[in-house]
């Protein structure tokens, strides 16, 4: 392979898949943080997350299918399950996750929304109306069932890359976690963005900020050893890291991904949240700041995947 085989279609899919995983995960978490009959400050997070979760990954899957050399043969991926192939496992995970998240999304529709939806059905498909069930009580179970698949989708994209010995830029055991936490962080960011326009409660934003800070801190403390230990590793790994240490991806990595996409939002969120925790002051938040921070995180998540996909493929070419 002397050319870049995986390009923008794959980068977009990795981002969208991670986004869906993150949305579902946060929504599932929020679901567990309240009891069904009790009013909860996190209901809106859970609902928004559930409603949004299926769509990015489905778009991503369409992109994936069209990236194939023979897209009309994508079904062959589901005629086999090869446990040694991260892509095979990933394909199945994707299907499972998509199904669960779709059902979960349906479960979070209000009665009004359901009626409107079924009313829009064309006459020929009207018999589907009999599926107009209220499965609210399934929400927790769906969240529980979907949680592992969302973690799976979030992590396998990293395993996909990390399992390739011949690309030293990827071949570390940290890539999977990096992608996972980045995915969850983008999920939080999307929810922050989604909620920043409305009458959001401080409590909701505090949860999202808090979760996001956790994820981003974890992300940062994965990137750090990735670089440090990489530099202390074998020549092939050192050479591959040159791509971000002086090579063509240096500025993108340090200024845009790490600086603007990770550390800046982290600092902003910490600044918003730490005083609240430390001195128990009231949580004041700036909606515009919240939205901008979320956009930075989303951009950073995209860039992370862009850098990894492209630099990784370059990292073994002669």
Q: Which residues form the interface with other proteins (CB under 8 A)?
A: 1-2, 5-9, 12, 56, 59, 62-63, 66-74, 76-77, 79-80, 82, 84-88, 91, 160, 163-167, 193-194, 197-198, 234, 236, 313, 316-318
Considering only the C-alpha atoms of the chain, give the largest distance between any 2 of them, rounded to a whole number of Å: 66
Q: Cβ of residue 1: shortest distance to other proteins, in angstroms?
A: 4
Closer to other proteins by Cβ: residue 77 or 266: 77
Q: Cβ of residue 144: shortest distance to other proteins, in angstroms?
A: 28
- Separation between Cα atoms, residue 287 and residue 294, nearest integer Å: 11
- Separation between Cα atoms, residue 177 and residue 69, nearest integer Å: 29
Q: Cβ of residue 165: shortest distance to other proteins, in angstroms?
A: 5
Q: What is the total residue count of the chain? A: 318
Closer to other proteins by Cβ: residue 113 or 129: 113
Report DSSP letters for 194-243, one per residue: HHTTS---HHHHHHHHHHHHHHHHHHHHHHHHHHHHHHTS-HHHHHHHTT
Question: Among the residues of 33-138, which ranges form H helices?
Answer: 43-52, 54-67, 86-107, 111-119
Closer to other proteins by Cβ: residue 163 or 270: 163
Closer to other proteins by Cβ: residue 84 or 125: 84
Q: Cβ of residue 11: shortest distance to other proteins, in angstroms?
A: 9
Closer to other proteins by Cβ: residue 146 or 194: 194
Query: What would the two tokens of residue 272 be?
Result: 């918003």
Q: Cβ of residue 279: shortest distance to other proteins, in angstroms?
A: 32
Interior angle at CA 311, CA 306 and CA 315, nearest 5: 155
């Amino acid at each position: 392979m002397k050319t870049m085989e995986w390009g923008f279609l794959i980068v977009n899919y990795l981002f969208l898949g991670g986004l869906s995983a993150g949305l579902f995960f946060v929504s599932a978490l929020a679901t567990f943080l309240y009891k069904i009959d009790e009013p909860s400050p996190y209901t809106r997070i859970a609902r928004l997350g559930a409603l949004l979760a299926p769509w990015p990954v489905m778009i991503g899957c369409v992109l994936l299918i069209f990236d194939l050399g023979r897209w009309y043969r994508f079904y062959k991926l589901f005629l086999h399950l090869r446990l040694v192939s991260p892509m095979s496992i990933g394909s199945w995970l994707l299907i499972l996750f998509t199904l669960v998240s779709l059902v979960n999304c349906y479960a979070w529709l209000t009665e009004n929304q359901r009626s409107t939806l079924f009313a829009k059905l064309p006459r020929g498909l009207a018999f589907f109306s009999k599926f107009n069930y209220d499965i609210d009580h399934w929400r927790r179970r769906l969240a529980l069932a979907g949680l592992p698949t969302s973690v799976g989708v979030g992590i396998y994209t990293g395993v996909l890359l990390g399992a390739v010995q011949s690309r030293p830029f990827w071949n570390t055991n940290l890539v999977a976690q990096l992608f996972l936490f980045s995915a969850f962080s983008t999920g939080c960011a999307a929810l922050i963005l989604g909620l920043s326009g409305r009458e959001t409660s401080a409590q909701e934003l505090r949860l999202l900020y808090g979760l996001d800070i956790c994820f981003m801190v974890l992300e940062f403390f994965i990137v750090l050893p990735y670089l440090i230990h990489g530099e202390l590793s074998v020549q092939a790994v050192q050479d591959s890291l040159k791509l971000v240490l002086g090579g063509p991806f240096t500025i993108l990595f340090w200024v845009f991904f790490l600086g603007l996409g990770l550390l800046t939002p982290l600092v902003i969120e910490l600044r918003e949240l730490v005083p609240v925790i430390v001195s128990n002051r009231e949580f004041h938040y700036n909606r515009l700041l919240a939205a901008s921070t979320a956009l930075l995180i989303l951009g950073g998540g995209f860039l992370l995947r862009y850098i990894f996909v492209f630099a990784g493929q370059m990292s073994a070419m002669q």
